[in-house]
Structure formats: structure tokens, C-alpha cells
Chains A and B, each alone.
Chain A
Amino acid sequence: MSASEKAQKDCKTRAKIIIYLVIILSLTLLAKLYMLQIHSFKKYALMSDKNRIRLSPVLPKRGRIITSDGKIVASSAHKYRLIMDYCSDKVFEKNLNLLGKCLTLSDQEKQRIIRARKSARPHMSFVIKDELSWEEYAGVSMDLFKFSNLSLETAYARNYAMPLEFSHVIGYVGKSDDAVQILTGKTGVEAFLNDQLIGKIGNLQTEVNALAKKVRVTDFVEPENGADIVLTLDSEIQKYVYDVISEERAGACVVLDILEGEIIAMASAPGFDANLVSNKMTYNQWKDVAANQLFPLINRAAVCVYPPGSVFKIVVAFAALSEGVITPWNRIFCSGGVKQDDRVFHCWNRGGHGYLDVCGALSWSCDCFFFEVARRLGVEKIIKYAKKFGFGSKIGIELPNESAGLLPTKSWKFSRHGTSWKPYETMIVGIGQGALLSTLLQAAVMMGKIYTNDYNFAPTMIKGKKKERGLAPIDQKPLEIIKKALRQVCLYGTASRSCNAEYGISGKTGSSQVRKMKTEEAGVNQKKFDWKFRDHAFFVGCAPYNAPRYVVAVLVEHGGGGGAVAAPIARKVFDKLMERQK
């Protein structure tokens, strides 16, 4: 083999090396391709989907709330928001200038938009204007084609037809805390029946590009609109009741239809503007509501608790008759005061009522009579009957934060204060004072139980929600006497001045003390005291006498006397109810 041939052969070897290298490197590529596309496919497919798929919620329309007479008191209205996708500074400035022509943007609003853009996450859209008026909407949508990155979004705003009157019953809505920011009930029926009202959130699945700009819709799950709720409340009565009770500084009124087992009005004054609280509220407006000394956000009918006062005497009288510690003919002497534990407990009438039977004691709301009766009964028995009449536990009304009230017992006192129960405390509980606390609604329900002869009576606020509990009849004998006594209250008793109506009202007044009275203040006109030291005025009543149907419970916070302040209000409401019944 010559040197030349040898060299040629050598070159062929080198060429082979190169070919082998090519084959090895090609196989490397194939192997890597295999690793990526088949071995790790799932991992990368997931990453790819994450890259491109954005889920955005589509909000459903919140259900309406309708009163029993067909008035739509809460509804959802479309509102339009102007959204801008993320863009460069230059485009943003250009757009803002263009926008100025079709929208009237104040400098303040422009500043807000610039801030919103700064605080928006990179490549995310932000809100230019939240609630566009119809004119603005029309103007912007005409010119929308001029902008590459503007879009109009539909959302819903909550609209209340009678915002003040129904403020505590319906409550208000706010945006949910999660990212969806759907309108969610915060108080009242809006909160209690939120699950039904809210509907089902839909889903818009869109593909986005690397700049998070939506390219196309890949999937759409339509939202399910919320269900409408029909209240048992009557808008006309509610408005009337609210207007009447609003004449006082603070108070509440509950109207029950005991035949239907429905609440037909529940008002608490002062109310708040639910439209304002639900939607847009400036800081100053919020401050006005929050700092108001009358606490307009609190529901005085079902959430606030008060000592029920003389209204509770109905329970004590019934307990005494049932337990047989007194008979209907038993008379007890009222001298104007009773001495107990080295203290004198006065009757509200310092002069004393003389001898009274149970009817008379209820009619004149004699304290001494009930001091004695309570002493004979003992606190445990009073509490037992109070429980039967619905005190101390929630009625189960369709409100989220209804109060249970408080029934003091010996064990409660010991665990709460660490001291033993004193005999005088039984006496105070006997006139509905002391640690005893109840809501106005509980007092109304007590009346309902009496006039339906049913311990299980519990009203509802929602049509078609009446619970079948079965009857738990109340012992008729003592009940008849109680009913007779309650009629007498309005005929010639404490409420006779205002409640002596031709259709016949039965009821009971109550004035519950909010502080310990000093001796020298006895008999002084309540109006001479500071407002916050005056008694709470109660009245619970039922009418008409022949066919009991309506129960009205009135509370005037620091109103003074129940007969003088609360009963006239109840009379007005009864008159209105009777007029409507005709």
C-alpha cells in the first residue's frame, strides 16, 4: 500500500468518525425529544394549560326580595364597568386623553385611574370607572372601537325600593371577601337566605396570550340566577309602622298575623339607607352611620335585648295560676312597697293599689302583687314558664343574628357572678326587671302563643316557610283569666286612655327601668330625666277581641311610660290594620 493510498484510507476513517458523530448526536436529539414529549408530557401539558387558560367568574343575578303585596323591595340592576387591559404608558396616556372626550372625567378621577393602574398587578386589567350612567355607557360603547384595550363589563348593583323601612329586615349586601367579589348578604334576610339569593356563579374560560390579553373563549358555564324570595311582610303596613315609630327617637315595632303565623311588619328606628351601605358609600357617610349614638345599624326588634318589664307579668301571672299559688279570686294587698332583705321595693304607684286580684293586678300592673306572687313561685318556676312562652331562646326567625335574651336562674347567677341568688332577685324577675332580658320579638311571640293557645307558635318572615310543629295547647283555665285581664288593661287599665277601641284591643303595657331609681326621684315625670335614663316603654297587644288576628308589639327606647308612649303607637297600628282588613 502506497503512502497515497494509506492517506486516502485514513481520510475515509475520518469521514466515518464524522458520520458516527452525526448519528450519535441525532440520537441525542431524538432521546431528548422523547423525554420532553412522551416522558414528561403531563408536566408540560399542565404548564401549557396554566400558561394560557384563565378562568373568570361570571356573576349571576341576585334574586329579588318581594313583599307579600307584590312590591319588589330588593332587586338587582345592571351596572356597567369600564375596564382597561394592561398597556404601555404611551398607549395609556393616549387612551386617557381619548376617554376624556366621551366621558367627563374630573382630575380627581383621573388621579384615581392612574393610581388604579399602578396598583394593578402586572399585565392585569383594572377598573376605569365602576358605575357608568346610561349616557356614559352609550357614549363609551359608541367609541369603543377606537380603543384596543378597553372593554365594558356587566356587573350587578343592589337596589332597594324602600331602603329605610326595610333596612333591618332585608339588611344590606357587600362584596364577598374572596377574589370573585360577588354581592353577598351581610345582615338581615340578605344574609340569612344568601345561599338562595346568590345563585350559582358561572365560569368563563378564556385563552390568553403572553400579555394576558384575552384571545378567545374556550368554555362558558352560564351562571344560574338567584331565586326570588317572597316575604310575609306587607310593604304598606311596614311603611306605616316605620313612619309611626320613627316619630320617636329610637324604637321598634313588630306586627304579627297569628292566624297565618306570619310577621307582617318589623320595623326598627332609626333605620339606615340600605342603598347607601350596599353600594357606594363615602367615608363621611359611613362615619355618620357608624358614629350615630342611636346605632341605626342595630335591629331593635330582634337583636337588641331589653328588660321586658311589666309585659313579663303576663308570664308570672300565668305561672302562678297554673301552679296554683294563687287562685283567680285570691286578693293581695298592695301598700305601695314591700320590704325584703332590709330593702324596700316600691310599687310604681307609691300610694299603693290596695287589695287586688290577678286581673286587677295585671290591669294596673301592680308591682307589689307580683313581688308576692314571685316570692311564692320561686325563680325556677317563673323561668320554666318563661321558657314555654319563648323567652330565653331564639324564635327561629329568618334573621342571622337574632338574640336569645337572658333568663336568670340560680345556677346562671352563680356561674356568672359567683354569688348566690338572693330572694329579692326573684321578686325583681317577677316584674320583668333585673337580669332578665328579652327581645321585642319574643314579647310579640308570647302574645301570639297566648292568642293561638299554642306553645309552639312561631312566626315566619318568608312565604311558604311555615314550619309544621304540631300543637302544644296551653292550659285553658288560667289562659282565659289572663286574656280577660289583658282585655281589662285596655278597657280601664294602664292602656285605657289610648287603646279603648271599638274592635277591642287586649294588651299589656310595660315600663322597664334602666337604672336604679333614687328615693327622691319617685313619682317624678320621666320627661324630666335625661333621655338615656328614661324607662323603656313597652306595649304588646292583640286585636280584634272577638277573632284575635293581629299582635302588635311596640318598644320605644327610653320613651317613659308604656301606657303613655307605647300604647298610642300600637293603637295607630291597630287602626291601620283594621282599616286594611276591611
Chain B
Amino acid sequence: MKIINLKSRFFFINEFGILFFIIFSLLVVSFLGQYSAFNGEFDGFVQKHLIRIVAGLIIMLLVYLIGLKIWNNFAYVFYAFTFVSLVVVGLLGSVKLGARRWIDFNFFTFQPSELMKLALILALARYYSLLSPLETRELKNHACPFILTLLPSMLVLKQPDLGTAGILFCVGICMIFLSGFPFKTFGVLIAAGLSLCPFSWFFLYDYQKKRILSFLNPDSDPLGAGYHILQSKIAIGSGHILGRGFLQGTQSKLNFLPEKNTDFIFTTIAEEIGFLGASLIILLFCALTIYFFWVASETRRSFPWLLCHGLGVLLFLHVFVNIAMVTGIIPAVGIPLPFLSYGGSSLITFMISCGLIMSALSRKKQRIGV
């Protein structure tokens, strides 16, 4: 029986056709984008990136094979473990680019804050799945999830990593909202939170203040804080409809673009493939997010429902914040673009997400409840 079960789980091509199409498209774009961002040199970084992609695919399958039940059962443990590693990284982590974010295992480094995103979603989904729909209408039951959200957010904010902290916080709030937090109270709290925003100015670091100021007035210092965004806008803007062509992006090849393979990978790609290609990428991300939500709507249980929504929100927040940042809609915050940015932690986080989504969908097919 178990063997048949395992076998049926491998017949995923039919079931996951759309998901695989989107993910493979994104991974192909990711590879080519990195290849271009490293000036067409395969050896070294791009090779490493390809290995990460393959490793990510394997991890995705492993996560899928583990099954949602185990993830459900170990959600709190996972959360606790990640939380502890966050504390550890705050104390002992290695410093890169002025921030304490990484744990350095000898052969690879890892950002617990990336893992925290998943752990938070899993933990919140687990928490709410244990509540009855009526219990979610009571305010006191939301206190615990709020603390679960706030604590890691504060820790990440101290690293300092405003972007990731904001995303953690937003994902948590979204999940609390989705689980059934009273509508009116939510509205009031959001309004109150927004009105308090100006006071947060006093808690920001200098470089964060500078970014916000340069965002509000980008021409004030085109070679200083506003430089990155301006160069990014120039790169995207000069792409036109069809772009400059693969490997022909001058802004990225000539290093006018900062962080061209990580946070600004979208710029690198948009310069070379133009409006048509870039909007296709946005549509792919949008489709993937909606696919996540669709999987959620297909499940009947509250743990996978919340999990899928959480992962969808997480994915889309990354996409939106990153692209909005590189196109100059919002101030510069360091958020990687899912799948496309160079870097293992982010890639693996989203591959795990996809694995979880696959589990959720397959469980729905098998009609096995938690």
C-alpha cells in the first residue's frame, strides 16, 4: 500500500503541470539572468548558481515527499529551532556588508531569517488549524500569533534588516487577517499603525533615513544615496519594448548597476529583454501567486489553506517589494527577487514553498485529511 502511495506521488507531472511550467520558466530566466549578470562567464558563480538550482529542485521534491503531515506536526519545533538560530546569529553570526545575518557553516552560510519566513507561516497555520472558526473571532486567540510574528520581526530588525523584518511582519499580519481576525478591529488597528508610522523615523538607522529621503527627492544626490535607484531606472528605461538583447545590457555590463545579480537582478534582465519580457516575468510571478491561492481554495482543511495563502503572500510580497524598489516606486530595501536573485537561502526558501504547495495539492487529490 505504502509503495503504491509513494508511486502515485511520483506521478506528479499531470497534477503539477502548471506549477512546473511556471517554476521551470522562472528557473531558466534565473539561470540566463545570472549568466548575463556575471558578464557571460559560466565558470564560478553561475556554475554555483546552477548547482543551487538543481539542489533546490531536489529539496523541493524532498519536501513534497516528506508530506504535509510531518510539516504540520513539527511546525512548532521548526519555529523554535529557527527562532533560536536567529538569536544565535544575532550574537555570533558572521558580519557581511555591515549586517549580522548569516550563520557560517564551514561549507556554506545560511540566513536563519530566510528560514524564519517559512517557520512563521507553518507555525501560524498550525496554530489556527487547531482553532475552530468561531474561536478565531475572539481577539484573545490572536495574541499568541501576534507575538509569534513580532518577536522574530524585532530580532531581524536588529540585525539590521528592515526589508526582511517588514516582510515577516506583513506575512504574519496577513495570516492573522485571513484566519478570521475581526474585520472592524483590524481596520482600526491598521489605521492606528499607519498613523504611528511617522514616529518610527526616530528608530531608523541613518542609512535607512538616507534611503527614504533620497526616495522622496531622488535628484537631490544623484551620485550618493539616490545613485542605485537612478541607475536602475536608467537601465530599465533604456530597455524599451524588446530590450537591448541578451548579454547586451550596458548598464549592468559596465557596472553602473549596483548589486546587479542579487537585489537588482530584475533590472539586469529588464534592460536586456525589454518591456515584453519584463512584464512576462511579472505575469509569471502573478500566476504563481494565484496558483498558490488556487491550491489553497482546492484544499478543505484549514492548515493547508492557511499555509498556501501564507506562502502566496510571502512570494508576492517579495516580488512586489523587489520590483517596486528597483523601479523606484518605494525606497530602497534589500529584498531578493524569488528564484531570480543570486543567493542560496532565498532560492531554497522558495523551492521549499513550492514543495509544500505540491504536498498540499497532492493531499487534496488523495483526500487524506489531517
Q: A-side interface residues toward B, CB under 8 Å? A: 3-4, 7-8, 10-12, 14-15, 18-19, 22-23, 25-26, 28-30, 32-34, 36-38, 40-41, 43-45, 47-48, 51-52, 207-211, 215
Contact = CB atoms under 8 A, between A and B. Distances in A.
A34 B275 contact: yes
10 contacts: A7-B137, A15-B178, A22-B312, A23-B286, A26-B283, A36-B327, A48-B251, A207-B254, A209-B254, A215-B254
Contacts of B237: 36-37, 40-41, 43-45, 47-48
A51 to B, nearest CB: 5
Contacts of A38: 240-241, 275
A15 B234 contact: no
Contacts of B100: none
A95 B297 CA distance: 67
Contact of B323 (A19, A29, A34): A29
B73 interface: no
Given A4-B134, A7-B134, A18-B313, A37 B289 contact: no
A193 B179 CA distance: 89
A10 B178 CA distance: 9
A215 B234 CA distance: 19
Interface of B: 132-134, 136-137, 174, 177-180, 231, 233-241, 250-251, 253-256, 270, 274-275, 278-279, 282-283, 285-286, 289-290, 293, 296-297, 305, 309, 312-313, 316, 320, 323-324, 327-329
B240 A28 contact: no
Given A36-B236, A37-B236, A37-B237, 14 more contacts: A7-B133, A8-B133, A14-B178, A18-B293, A25-B316, A26-B283, A26-B320, A33-B275, A36-B327, A37-B274, A43-B237, A44-B235, A47-B234, A48-B251
B275 A210 contact: no
B289 A22 contact: yes
A29 B328 CA distance: 10
B293 A19 contact: yes
The winner among A19, A26, A215 for most chain B CB atoms within 10 A is: A26
A30 to B, nearest CB: 5
Contact of A26 (B133, B251, B275, B282): B282
A15 B296 contact: yes
Main secondary structure of the interface of A (DSSP, over half): helix
A52 B286 contact: no
A44 B293 contact: no
Nearest to A53: B250
B286 A33 contact: no
Contacts of B134: 3-4, 7
Contacts of B240: 37-38, 41, 45
Contacts of A208: 254
Contacts of A41: 237-240
Nearest 7 Cβ contacts at the A-B interface? A44-B237, A7-B133, A48-B238, A209-B254, A37-B275, A26-B286, A36-B237
B278 A33 contact: yes
B313 A48 contact: no
Nearest to A37: B275
Given A25-B316, A48-B235, A52-B256, A4 B323 contact: no
Nearest to B297: A15
Contacts of A43: 237
Nearest to B223: A122
A29 B321 CA distance: 10
A19 B286 CA distance: 10
A37 B329 CA distance: 14
B327 A33 contact: yes
A228 to B, nearest CB: 42
Contacts of B274: 37
Contacts of A211: 255
B257 to A, nearest CB: 8
A47 B133 contact: no
A52 B250 contact: yes
A515 B189 CA distance: 105
B290 A22 contact: yes
The winner among A3, A33, A38, A51 for most chain B CB atoms within 10 A is: A33
A43 B313 CA distance: 35
Nearest to A209: B254
